[in-house]
């Protein structure tokens, strides 16, 4: 082994200790280590450094709850993500296939359809209360909601599966550790909402779940 090889290995010692050499480099390093007392001393020094660097960093404080609050407040102020349909730029793609006149007819038909739907949807609600429109419903402003704190051991996968199974979704939060979960639309009865809430509590995924509003 020449001086250049020895220097190259000496520089790799910290990465060997940190477990960040690729398998080929690691095998070559281990072979050299077996026959080179200088490299062995280097590795021993690197291990001591690593231990104390980790100890020093672990002694530093953790971020307070203010950091996560600040982050999610900032995210609340972010513009909504563009939908898949918008990303597909359907208008431009339709334009590739149809003439402007044909597109005009399609647009007129769509406006007519929207007007007819609005006529149906803006009827008074069957019970007491005001009017309910589809767009307001889709925006998630109406429906049955719960305030939920997830259990520490609840995994993202389990939560997502449970919500999907029960037709529920997270629509807000966290605020002070609580998420706003939509249990169902405004057509969901209070009994059904209570049952879904009970299922959520029984799932073991939450430490707190309470009807909201």
Q: Which residues bind another protein (CB under 8 A)?
A: 10-12, 14-15, 17-21, 38, 41-42, 44-46, 48-68, 70-72, 74-75, 78, 80-81, 149-157, 159-160, 170, 173-174, 176-177, 206-208
- CB closer to another protein, 144 vs 159: 159
Q: Which secondary-structure segment (H or E) carries 43?
A: helix 37-58
State the minimum distance, in angstroms, from the CB of residue 125 to another protein: 30
State the minimum distance, in angstroms, from the CB of residue 213 to another protein: 20
- CB closer to another protein, 131 vs 208: 208
Give the full edge-to-edge strand order of the sheet including 169-175: 169-175, 178-184, 144-150, 206-212
State the minimum distance, in angstroms, from the CB of residue 88 to another protein: 14
Cβ–Cβ < 8 Å for 172, 121? no
Sorted by sequence, the CB contacts under 8 Å of residue 166 that are 6+ apart come out as: 183, 196, 199, 200
Sorted by sequence, the CB contacts under 8 Å of residue 32 that are 6+ apart come out as: 1, 9, 39
State the minimum distance, in angstroms, from the CB of residue 36 to another protein: 12
State the minimum distance, in angstroms, from the CB of residue 90 to another protein: 18
Helix (H, G, I), strand (E, B) or coil at 105: helix
- CA separation for the pair 174, 149 (Å, rounded): 9
Q: Which secondary-structure segment (H or E) carries 160?
A: helix 156-165
- CB closer to another protein, 22 vs 96: 22
- CB closer to another protein, 78 vs 190: 78
- CB closer to another protein, 51 vs 198: 51
């Amino acid at each position: 082994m020449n001086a250049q090889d020895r220097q190259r290995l000496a520089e790799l010692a910290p990465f060997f200790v940190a477990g960040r050499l690729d398998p080929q480099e690691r095998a070559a390093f281990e072979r050299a280590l077996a026959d080179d007392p200088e490299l062995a001393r280097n590795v021993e020094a690197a291990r001591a450094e690593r231990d104390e660097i980790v100890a020093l960093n672990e002694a530093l404080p953790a971020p307070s709850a203010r950091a996560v609050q600040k982050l999610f407040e900032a995210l609340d102020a972010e513009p909504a993500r563009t939908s898949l349909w918008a990303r597909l730029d359907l208008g431009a793609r339709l334009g590739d296939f149809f003439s402007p006149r044909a597109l005009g007819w399609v647009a007129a038909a769509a406006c007519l359809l929207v007007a007819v739907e609005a006529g149906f949807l803006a009827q008074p609600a069957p019970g007491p209360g005001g009017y309910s429109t589809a767009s307001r419903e889709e925006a998630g402003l109406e429906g049955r909601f719960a305030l939920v704190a997830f259990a520490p051991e609840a995994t993202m996968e389990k939560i997502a599966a449970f919500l999907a199974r029960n037709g529920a979704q997270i629509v807000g939060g966290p605020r002070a550790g609580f998420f706003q979960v939509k249990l169902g639309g405004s057509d969901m009865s209070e009994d059904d909402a209570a049952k879904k809430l009970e299922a959520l509590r029984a799932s073991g995924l939450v430490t707190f779940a309470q009807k909201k509003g």
